[in-house]
Chain A
Amino acid sequence: MAYIRLIGVLVIILGFAFKLDTVAVVLISALATALASGIDFTQFLNILGQGFLDNRMVSLFFLTLPMIGVIERNGLKASAVNMIHRLQNLTPGRIFDIYLFIRELACVFGISLQGQVQFIRPLINPMAQAAASVEAKLAPKDVDRIKARSAATENFGNFFAQNLFVASGGVLLMASTMKSLGYSVNPTGIVLYSIPVALLTLVLVFIYNHLFDRQLAKKGRGNID
């Protein structure tokens, strides 16, 4: 019954789906898989220890944290806010466009601020709402949609551009996992092949935002009539 080895996959799926403690879930999954496939406990400890040491490169990004801490304490957020505040007299879609561009650019340089907390709620959402209500009063449903689109913009930028930074957790995880699976890849190569996705996201989301503006404007005129 070879399929019993998949017990670890089941543990991972259920553990993450039910939001159990992630560190424990991963280790239990590893233990269950090893025992189910006939590896004894001492052997398991060896594989686990060796595997963890072999994958230390994934945690290299910790080395960048002191620098980020220093610039964060010295006004990184304030500078970014000042930059975004200059975006006046724009439509909501344009504000989202520019935020997405800034967000992707920040990813290239490994700057990952907690966007939802630090920028979307206090800055982008109110700016987009103000821009939208220039034309007409917003219906509650549209207010909700602008909020949702602000949050979505942050997530688009974060996910589709985070692999542009060579020392990001994701890139290192990919490089290290592929090496463990017997296919060594270069982290710089991963960055290179992540560029098309980041650019296509920009194009696609720009179109998407343009449609959003058109819809809002149409509704706005409707409300005035």
Chain B
Amino acid sequence: MTNLINNILTFLYVLIGAGFLIAAIESFRDQTNSARFGTGLFWTLFAIIFALGQWLPKAVVGALLLVIGLLSLLKQVKVGHIKDIDVSHAEKVAERLKGWIFLPSVILAVVAILVAQFTPFGGQVGIGAAAILSLVVAVVLTKSTGKEVFDDTQRMVRSVGSAGVLPQLLATLGVVFTASGVGKVTAQAISSVFPAGNHLLGVILYCVAMAVFTIIMGNAFAAFAVITAGIGIPFVVAQGGSAVIVAALGMTSGYCGTLLTPMAANFNTLPVALMEMKDPLGVIKQQAPIAISMLVIQILLMYLLAF
């Protein structure tokens, strides 16, 4: 069974690689993009890592990642020109399908959960199966052609761009941190001030650190990898806290920080520009009461549920 699941997962990663390859081809072909070769290469390397990584020496994968980092550092990765969707077509189909257009999304969520809960295949295969099934339903429902699906894929992958691979890179950073003993050192440093062992204190420390680091960095995902290794594990999970509850509530504590920081420009500064607001911190001011209340609530929830 484990073998079968692993084979299915490898197949899914090859599929993701194919999606990246499509993005690579279209990036190379985008004449308007001044960095089209860099961007094309960026996606090609990811396509190789996902489709063939299984069979490559690990050090080669690591080296390819450094090349990707170099391309990105030298500003050779740009989204380029992405064709807008045809609004009149969209409205015509919306008219015909009405609420049914939401059906593929519902199938995606429901099938993913059902496979995860009621089959031995588990959550990851569930996501893959749900993604494929919902795509088939979407294609039939909208009478799309293969060429159109190809186009939709390249549009979505390219517009998600390097932000889409960031979560996996951050998770990888967590691995490097663990291998280097960063978590241990942080835990030592903090435990000289706060003794480990007090449940409530540990929870407060972890949740507040998630929020504060997110405020500084503007990105809760980045904070999660660092703070969970350094504080969440030694001060909460290792003290008997449930890992799943600590993770779920820790991340949303980080989101409280996102709501409070101008560093999260896409969410808090972009609307100021979009709506020509006078107060540059207006959005954050409206969010602050909820963000702070939710942080307190989550600290309490974690304390009550995790132990």
Residues of A within 8 A of B (CB): 2-3, 5-6, 8-9, 12-13, 16-17, 21-24, 26-31, 33-34, 36-37, 39, 42, 44-79, 82, 108-111, 116-117, 120-121, 125, 140, 144-145, 147-152, 154-156, 158-160, 163, 165-167, 169-170, 172-178, 180-191, 193-194, 196-197, 200-201, 204-205, 208
Given the known inter-chain contacts A22-B162, A52-B62, please indicate yes or no for A167 contacting B127, CB distance below 8 A.
yes
**What is the bound-complex CA distance between A167 and B112, given in angstroms?**
8
- Which listed residue, B131, B169, B173, touches A63 by the CB 8 Å rule? B131
Q: Is the interface of B mostly helix, strand, loop or mixed?
A: helix
A-B contact count (CB 8 A): 467
Cα A60 to Cα B16 in complex, Å, equals 8
Contact A36 B59 (CB under 8 A): no
Given contacts A23-B68, A75-B97, contact A193 B248 (CB under 8 A): yes
In the complex, are the beta carbons of B225 and A177 less than 8 A apart? yes
- Whether B244 contacts A186 by the Cβ 8 Å rule is yes
Whether the Cβ atoms of A78 and B283 lie closer than 8 Å is: no
CB of B196 within 8 A of chain A?
Answer: no
A173 to B283: give the CA distance in the assembly, Å: 27
Residue among A46, A58, A60, A61 with the most chain B CB within 10 A?
Answer: A60
- Is B168 interfacial (CB 8 A cutoff)? yes
Residue of B nearest to A68 (CB): B156
User: Which positions 257-307 of chain B face chain A at CB distance < 8 Å?
Assistant: 258-259, 263, 266-268, 270-272, 274-275, 277-279, 282-283, 285-287, 289-290, 293-294, 297-298, 301, 305
A173 touches B177 (CB 8 A): no
What separation, in Å, do the CA atoms of A187 and B9 have in the docked complex?
Answer: 16
Q: What B residues does A188 contact at CB under 8 A?
A: 113, 116-117, 123
Q: Cβ of B169 and Cβ of A117 under 8 Å apart?
A: no
List chain B residues, Cβ under 8 A from A52. 49, 53, 61-62, 65, 168-169, 172
Q: Name the 6 nearest CB pairs between A and B, nearest first.
A: A75-B94, A69-B152, A49-B61, A51-B175, A45-B62, A151-B271
20 A-B Cβ contacts within 8 A? A6-B185, A6-B186, A27-B68, A30-B176, A37-B181, A52-B53, A52-B65, A62-B157, A79-B99, A148-B282, A155-B259, A159-B252, A160-B255, A170-B221, A175-B123, A177-B228, A177-B247, A181-B229, A191-B113, A197-B294
A residues less than 8 Å from B113 (CB atoms):
166, 188, 191
A181–B245 CB distance below 8 A: no
Q: Which residues on the A side are within 8 Å of B237 (C-beta)?
A: 183
A48 touches B182 (CB 8 A): no
Minimum CB distance partner of B276 in chain A: A147
Cβ A71 vs Cβ B252 within 8 A: no
B233 contacts A181, C-beta separation under 8 Å: yes
Q: How far is the CA of A186 from the CA of B274 in the complex (A)?
A: 39
Beta-carbon contact of A110 and B138 below 8 Å: no
A29 surroundings in chain B (CB, below 8 A): 173
Of all chain A residues, the one with the shortest Cβ separation from B218 is A16
